[in-house]
Structure 1
Amino acid sequence: MSSVLTRRFRAESGSGFDRKLLAPMLLGTILNPINSSIIAVSLVPIGVAFGAPASSTAWLVSALYLATAIGQPVVGRLVDLYGPRRLYLAGATLTGIAGIMGVLAPDLLVLVLARIVLGFGTCAGYPASMYLIRSESERTGKNSPAGVLTALAVAGQTIVVIGPTLGGLLIHLGGWRTTFAINIPLAIACLIVGALRMPKTPAPQRGKGSGLDLPGIALFAALLVSLLLFLMKPQVAYWYLPVLAIAAGAALIIRELRTPEPFLDVRVLGGNVPLLATYGRVLLTSMVGYCFLYGFTQWLESGRGLNATGAGLILLPLSITGIAVSAITGRRTVIRGKLIVGGIAQILGCTALFLMPGAAAIWLLLGVAVIMGIPQGLNSLANQNAVYYQADPERIASSAGLLRTFTYAGAMGAAAAGGAFLSAGSSAAGLHHLALFMLVASGLFLALTLADRSLRLTGRPARDAASA
């Protein structure tokens, strides 16, 4: 797979893209997905080591999600203001520190803190990569980064596939602490290639008000923390959390409208309907994808009676199909067609889940995984490309960070849906209820795609767009 990515990147390098940036871009981009996936096989041994219940070890997952959801647009904004090099190197340093904390952690609390540091440390890679793609496009005068964007998407999907397997191997060799220790050599590699290959870009000059909007960031963080904590446990007893989220959101809008250099330029963002629609699609498709990844897996084990290894093998076609679809279609920059096909595939997959019998044959389970792999490969890549073309060039990194924020918000929503519809020993009825929820979200995704007329031109070559 790496040779395919290299060939694609070299093809665009012939058009002027600097291929020496490939290594730091890919290394930085995979830090977050590898830590998102590798923890899946670590939770049980960590719980045993510290005598902690599953409700406590779940914070190891939520801590990374919360830190990443907040940190991606914040670090992205810093990249927009000060260039990618310093933020990339600082993120790699934090990632290494988090790895050391995990290796030496005496209790679960320190491990959770390590995951928070890890979440912030892994935030720089993706926004920095999007910034570099945009700056290379401006330098060369060629706005066709499809191969590079595909490389980032496929690299992330590949790491998600091998993450749990790698984690199992590391635990077998050296215990659960090795799943934190892996970040130390990865951080060192990022520091080396970042120092050698990342360009020393000067900070953009934006006038006296070019400093970071700390009050805006604080309100944004309050909004996300309140909302995501409620999604983790959506109960009446926590009614105050959505109220706090609404209050923080209102205060954020007022603040950002009054400051000359806002963290979130709500005027520009509010006027950029296509970009807002893309974020909405990301939220919906992430919710569907994570519902399938977590909910279907839970049902395979607790309802269908498969063991963890069997459930993992059933899901393998999901990832293989997603990677293959991304690699095959990545060179095509047209976005709308990919989203329509991905939306239809989501609906077909969710319908199959809704009709799934409790004693479904293995071939049927594998078939559903293959179908759901199609939107995984198409939707994530198409939405990533859409953000590249739709975002304000001066805020490309923070816009890319917001893309990840909506991704993790969808993951939190999926976790809440899974908790509401599935339980230990769930029958097929629980899976059917979850599938109905997914089907509604998939229908909204497809409707939003069809209604967005701007997608007809987004990503198309200038000559085609002019003739449309």
Structure 2
Amino acid sequence: MTSLLHRGRAQSEHATPPARPDRFDRRLIAPMILGSILNPINSSMLAVALVPIATAFGVASSQTAWLVTALYLATAVGQPVVGRLIDMFGPRTLFLVGTGLVGVAGVLGAVAPNLGVLILARVLLGFGTCAGYPASMYLIRSESKRTGNPSPNGVLSALTISNQVIAVIGPTLGGFLVSGAGWRSVFTVNIPLSAACLVLGSLWLPRGLGSADDGAATGAGGRRPGGIDLAGMVLFSGALVALMLFVMDPHASDAWLLGVAAVVGGGFAWRELRAVVPFVDLRVLGGNVPQLATYARQFLAATVQYSLLYGFTQWLEAGRGLSASGAGLLLMPMFASAIVVTAITGRRAAVRGKLVAGGIFQVLVCAGLLLVSGDTAIWFLVAIGLVFGLPQGLNGLANQNALYHQAEPARMASAAGLLRTFAYVGALASSAATAAFFGERATTGGLHDLAWFTLGCGVVFLALVLVDRSLTRIGRTTTSAAS
């Protein structure tokens, strides 16, 4: 891998023609967005294919859940690792390798003879889709530095909106693919997507060095004082995998996983505090309280979002008696309001007002769910969905923009990868909470218990926003133009 990265750097003399010095290079937008949506589209499409896959291989539905888990695990571990490599070596080679791996996973899924091979394909998809989002954040930061525009909010909001749109149409697209070409098509669709990323990335992504090689982390003589912190990456991955395996299905008999996570995590901290060029610079991150608060908000927002998204949907069918298609239609206003509020507020650089409003709307939605019952009027359920879309649009965009201003520039890609990791851990925590409160069936009582849980998370989220005075400085001196 290291030699491949260095070969990519050696071709810098063939770089694409320079863009206008005062404008964001719009040629980058297509590969940025296409690469960043590979993960959400593969997360959402599979939902409609799980039952056909179970039938095709003659396995229980509980076994096909590993197809979901495999992607989450691989992505949660891989995002910050790949992000750090992007920081060190630049985005081009990692983007091309990652999106190429997506195509390989698509081929493997097309010919998989059993569930085990299909799970392997999902692991490859997880690792392959890790490069898109960190590479995009790296490119936004480097373009900001080149153009002198410190706050490219239009591009940041376009990145958020594209991922939200994919989350909306993913299940519908998956349904059309499964109905028209069978369940394997949700894997084979990655082949043309991968090819498009490879072509666009090869044409437009800049060849060159990562920020760590631009002098941000160089020693005497202009050389970096250390290479890839492989030990740190392995220890980080081991601790995170042990923690996530427990969170996915928490039982007292599996508490040993928490012990493993604690021991390996302690070893990771010991290693990083002594490494010359650490994978995660705990000394810098530990002193960056605003960035740590952003990670905490991302975790809480994801926990609330996924708990209500999947829990509310299950209750609409089992508790309210709606059909699957009826529940899907009822949720459409939620996705629409999320996209609209992102589009309206996306060009504003300030984040604190968005987070305060998003936190309040989260609390209102959770409180509103305490009022529903098996005969609640449809208009009230639609209203809950509409309001629920607002914090989804506000919080995701604001946390992303906050991180953009808080993270160390030389570690922007790895910081962005960690942001996604905290979101995935929140998603897994929500899955465990939903399973605990619903049990065998999504009852109204279970929904109320889930609402109390998410209400507590929402209150903590809002408190973190209100006490974080550093948020008021973001956007105060930056422009909202996004050339």
TM range (shorter): over 0.9
Partner of 2:106 in structure 1?
99
Partner of 1:46 in structure 2?
53
2:34 is equivalent to residue 27 of structure 1: yes
Q: Is the 8 A contact 2:101 2:124 kept in 1?
A: yes
Letter in 1 for 2:352: R
Structure 2 residue aligned with 1:311, among 327, 330, 337? 327
Partner of 1:342 in structure 2?
358
Matches within 5 A, 1:420-459: 420-459=436-475
Taking the aligned partners of 1:293 and 1:424, their CA distance within structure 2 comes to 18
Structure 2 residue aligned with 1:132, among 127, 134, 139? 139
Counterpart of 1:58 in 2: which secondary structure? helix
Matches within 5 A, 1:370-389: 370-389=386-405
**Count of aligned pairs:** 453
Partner of 1:275 in structure 2?
291
1:177-219 CA deviation, whole Å, 9 max, x = no partner? Answer: 0000110000000000000000112244333434111110111
1:135-194 CA deviation, whole Å, 9 max, x = no partner? Answer: 011111111210000000000000000000000000111100000011000000000000
Partner of 1:294 in structure 2?
310
Q: Is the 8 A contact 1:385 1:459 kept in 2?
A: no
Taking the aligned partners of 1:386 and 1:254, their CA distance within structure 2 comes to 29
User: 1:432: how far off?
Assistant: 0.1
Structure 1 residue aligned with 2:123, among 113, 116, 119? 116
Partner of 2:417 in structure 1?
401
- CA change 1:324–1:462 in 2 (3 A) is closer
User: 1:459: how far off?
Assistant: 3.0
2:259 is equivalent to residue 252 of structure 1: no
Normalising by structure 1, report the TM-score: 0.95
User: 1:463: how far off?
Assistant: 9.1
- CA change 1:107–1:261 in 2 (3 A) is same
Q: Is the 8 A contact 2:21 2:147 kept in 1?
A: no
User: 1:110: how far off?
Assistant: 0.5
Matches within 5 A, 1:178-327: 178-203=185-210, 204-205=212-213, 206=218, 207-327=223-343
Partner of 1:3 in structure 2?
none
- CA change 1:240–1:406 in 2 (3 A) is same
Taking the aligned partners of 2:291 and 2:474, their CA distance within structure 1 comes to 11
Taking the aligned partners of 2:469 and 2:166, their CA distance within structure 1 comes to 34
User: 1:354: how far off?
Assistant: 1.3
Letter in 2 for 1:455: L
Partner of 1:331 in structure 2?
347
2:370 is equivalent to residue 363 of structure 1: no
Taking the aligned partners of 1:218 and 1:208, their CA distance within structure 2 comes to 21
User: 1:118: how far off?
Assistant: 0.2
Partner of 2:86 in structure 1?
79
Taking the aligned partners of 1:353 and 1:130, their CA distance within structure 2 comes to 36
Partner of 1:9 in structure 2?
none
Q: Is the 8 A contact 1:102 1:114 kept in 2?
A: yes
- CA change 1:14–1:164 in 2 (3 A) is farther
Q: Is the 8 A contact 2:88 2:209 kept in 1?
A: no
Letter in 1 for 2:296: G
Matches within 5 A, 1:408-427: 408-427=424-443
Letter in 1 for 2:360: I
Taking the aligned partners of 2:253 and 2:229, their CA distance within structure 1 comes to 33
Partner of 1:88 in structure 2?
95
1:228-250 CA deviation, whole Å, 9 max, x = no partner? Answer: 11011111010101111111111
The percentage of aligned residue pairs carrying the same residue is 57
Counterpart of 1:334 in 2: which secondary structure? coil
- Residues 29-38 or 425-434, more deviating: 425-434
- CA change 1:463–1:153 in 2 (3 A) is closer
Letter in 2 for 1:273: V
- Residues 24-33 or 298-307, more deviating: 298-307
Taking the aligned partners of 2:448 and 2:89, their CA distance within structure 1 comes to 49
Taking the aligned partners of 2:248 and 2:479, their CA distance within structure 1 comes to 47
Taking the aligned partners of 1:94 and 1:349, their CA distance within structure 2 comes to 40
2:34 is equivalent to residue 18 of structure 1: no
Structure 1 alignment gaps of length 5 or more? 1-11
Taking the aligned partners of 1:177 and 1:459, their CA distance within structure 2 comes to 46
Counterpart of 2:276 in 1: which secondary structure? coil
Taking the aligned partners of 1:72 and 1:244, their CA distance within structure 2 comes to 22
Counterpart of 2:273 in 1: which secondary structure? helix
Taking the aligned partners of 2:258 and 2:23, their CA distance within structure 1 comes to 48
Taking the aligned partners of 2:359 and 2:224, their CA distance within structure 1 comes to 45
- CA change 1:340–1:14 in 2 (3 A) is farther
Taking the aligned partners of 2:147 and 2:320, their CA distance within structure 1 comes to 54
Taking the aligned partners of 1:136 and 1:446, their CA distance within structure 2 comes to 33
- CA change 1:228–1:136 in 2 (3 A) is same
Q: Is the 8 A contact 2:320 2:373 kept in 1?
A: no
Partner of 1:6 in structure 2?
none
Partner of 1:152 in structure 2?
159
Q: Is the 8 A contact 1:81 1:210 kept in 2?
A: no
User: Cα RMSD (Å) of the superposition?
Assistant: 1.4
Counterpart of 1:258 in 2: which secondary structure? coil
Partner of 2:14 in structure 1?
none
Q: Is the 8 A contact 1:386 1:459 kept in 2?
A: no
Taking the aligned partners of 1:13 and 1:314, their CA distance within structure 2 comes to 46
- CA change 1:129–1:13 in 2 (3 A) is farther
Q: Is the 8 A contact 1:13 1:19 kept in 2?
A: no
